[in-house]
């Protein structure tokens, strides 16, 4: 295995294509393709397609109910003992969303992401398939939500001790200059800014985007004021980019990360929440 993150505290959460090629046919490993499109054209052999949109109850702005997720995962043959490898196109913003939801429901340290995603698999010449794997029914799974891996609007309004709010959106969303389709723009009062994509290297000559090495990531988060002794609360628009930062902080060993699931989609469209706007003074 040539895992560039093997020196990291939680380097087991990230694998390269060489490792995946060697282990993908192991009976306890389940592959999930989290890409938004093109799965039916080609994917890593034996991978199941996971529609990441199904991981959220959009009308309630909450994570999918556990019984619905259990049924979905059982169709992939996932049990409480499975090792799950997730990939997307390469930026991993969809794969990390799946990672966060599954960890929230108790599958901690059973999940791995493919560094570089499907792009690296193609670039390095590994086999792909258009065959759809058969649904599997041989296993069952029991999920338990972890309340210490999530933050609600009410938690924020009540006030959290020893916590850092981390806005992972782009800088114009953070300042309020770009409010997208929200009722209001701005940020949650006191939030510091660290854009989710800062954790990624520039794309290489093959268009492959990988995570930065752990020492660089640690240095950058510390310089941004994200202290590992605090509870870190990432958020974005809908907790996809926030979940990406959740994964990165898990990777570099931060012990207490609790994303705000409702994110700006909830906060920015609630007329009774407090916001901060960019000030040029």
Count of CB atoms within 10 A of residue 66's CB? Answer: 16
Q: For 47-72, how does the pLDDT look when each residue is reduced to its tens digit (9 = 90+)?
A: 999 999 999 998 888 999 999 999 99
Mean pLDDT value across residues 107-129: 97
pLDDT value at residue 145: 98
Q: Looking at the domain that runs over 11-123, which CATH code has it been given?
A: 3.40.250.10
Residues 6+ apart with CB under 8 A from 279: none
Q: Starting at the earlier edge strand, list the strands of the sheet with 14-15.
A: 14-15, 111-114, 83-87, 29-33, 48-49
pLDDT value at residue 135: 80
pLDDT value at residue 280: 54
Per-residue DSSP letter, 254: -
pLDDT value at residue 58: 82
pTM, rounded to two decimals: 0.95
- Structure-token match 């706007």, residue found: 277
Q: List the structure tokens of 146.
A: 């972890």
- Whether residue 16 is predicted with pLDDT greater than 50 in this model: the reply is yes
Count of CB atoms within 10 A of residue 222's CB? Answer: 12
Residue 131: C-alpha distances to residues 28, 47, 49, 123, 138 (Å): 20, 9, 11, 20, 20
Q: For 147-173, how does the pLDDT look when each residue is reduced to its tens digit (9 = 90+)?
A: 999 999 999 999 989 999 999 999 999
Q: Which of 249, 234, 2, 254 is nearest to 116 (CA)?
A: 2
Q: Which of 256, 242, 122, 230 is nearest to 170 (CA)?
A: 242
Half-sphere exposure of 225 (CA within 13 A, CB side): 11
pLDDT value at residue 4: 42
- Whether residue 250 is predicted with pLDDT greater than 50 in this model: the reply is yes
- Whether residue 3 is predicted with pLDDT greater than 80 in this model: the reply is no
C-alpha angle with apex 219: 218 to 224, nearest 5 degrees?
A: 100
How do 83-87 and 56-57 pair as beta strands? unpaired
pLDDT value at residue 60: 86
Residues 6+ apart with CB under 8 A from 256: 148, 230, 231, 232
Confidence of residue 281 (pLDDT cuts 50, 70, 90): very low
Give the 3-state secondary structure of 77-138: CCCCCCEEEEECCCCCHHHHHHHHHHHHCCCCCCEEEECCHHHHHHHCCCCCECCCCCCECC
pLDDT value at residue 279: 66
- Whether residue 117 is predicted with pLDDT greater than 90 in this model: the reply is yes
Least confident of 7-21, 96-110, 211-225: 7-21
- Whether residue 42 is predicted with pLDDT greater than 70 in this model: the reply is yes
CB 137 within 8 A of CB 74: yes
Burial (Cβ within 10 Å: 0-12, 13-18, ≥19) of residue 58: exposed
Mean pLDDT value across residues 34-59: 96
Q: List the structure tokens of 50.
A: 């996971």
* Mean pLDDT, the chain, whole residue set: 94
Percent of the chain scoring above 90 in pLDDT: 91
pLDDT value at residue 139: 76
More confidently predicted of 278 and 203 = 203
Domain covering 147-267 assigned CATH 3.30.70.1290 in the classification: no
Domain ranges of the chain: 11-123, 147-267
- Whether residue 248 is predicted with pLDDT greater than 70 in this model: the reply is yes
Mean pLDDT value across residues 97-116: 97
Mean pLDDT value across residues 269-279: 91
């Amino acid at each position: 295995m040539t895992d560039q993150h093997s020196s990291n505290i939680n380097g087991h959460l990230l694998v390269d294509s060489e490792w995946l090629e060697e282990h993908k046919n192991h009976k306890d490993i389940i592959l999930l393709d989290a890409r938004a499109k093109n799965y039916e054209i080609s994917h890593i052999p034996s991978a199941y397609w996971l529609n990441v949109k199904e991981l959220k109850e959009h009308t309630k702005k909450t994570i999918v109910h556990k019984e619905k997720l259990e049924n979905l995962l059982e169709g992939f043959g996932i049990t409480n003992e499975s090792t799950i490898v997730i990939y997307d196109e390469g930026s991993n913003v969809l794969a990390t969303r799946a990672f966060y939801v599954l960890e929230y429901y108790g599958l901690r340290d059973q999940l791995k992401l493919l560094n570089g995603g499907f792009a690296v698999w193609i670039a390095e010449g590994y086999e792909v398939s258009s065959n759809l794997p058969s649904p599997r029914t041989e296993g069952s799974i029991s999920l338990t939500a972890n309340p210490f891996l999530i933050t609600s609007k009410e938690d924020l309004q009540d006030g959290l001790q020893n916590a850092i709010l981390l806005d992972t959106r782009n800088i114009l969303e953070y300042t309020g200059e770009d409010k997208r389709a929200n009722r209001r723009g701005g940020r949650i009062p006191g939030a510091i800014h660290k854009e989710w994509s800062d954790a990624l290297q520039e794309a290489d000559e093959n268009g492959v985007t990988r995570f930065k090495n752990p020492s660089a990531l640690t240095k950058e988060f510390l310089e941004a004021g994200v202290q590992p002794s605090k509870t870190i609360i990432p958020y974005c628009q809908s907790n996809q980019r926030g979940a990406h930062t959740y994964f990165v902080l898990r990777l570099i060993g931060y012990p207490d990360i609790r994303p705000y699931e409702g994110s700006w989609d909830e906060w920015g469209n609630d007329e009774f929440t407090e916001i901060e706007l960019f000030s040029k003074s």
